[in-house]
Amino acid sequence: MVYADFSGREIVRAPRSKKYKPVSRTGSHVKLRYEHPDTGEVRVVSVPLKDSDRISQDTYRSIAD
């Protein structure tokens, strides 16, 4: 499995820059929510905030999708 050296906090910055807002935090995961202003479509993304700095590429892809 391929890993990248980014922390969960760094990963959270990308969706937040696209107008996602934190909704809740459960354990080591943060939920971010986005509502499209025109269509009302709602998207929710869960991002792990791991203490280790190694998160798999598969996790990145799931967040991006």
What is the residue extent of each domain of the chain? 3-64
Are 50 and 7 in contact by the 8 Å Cβ rule? The answer is: yes
Taking the complete model, does pTM exceed 0.85, yes or no? no
Phi/psi of residue 50, each to 5°?
-80, 150
Mean pLDDT over residues 9-34, rounded? 87
Higher pLDDT pick, 5 / 48:
48
Q: Which residues of 8-46 are buried (b: 16+ CB within 10 A; e: fewer)?
A: beebbebbeeeebeeeeeeeeebebebeeeeeeeeeebe
- State the CATH class of domain 3-64: alpha beta
Phi/psi of residue 42, each to 5°?
-110, 135
Rounded to an integer, what distance in angstroms lies between the CA atom of residue 44 and that of residue 3? 24
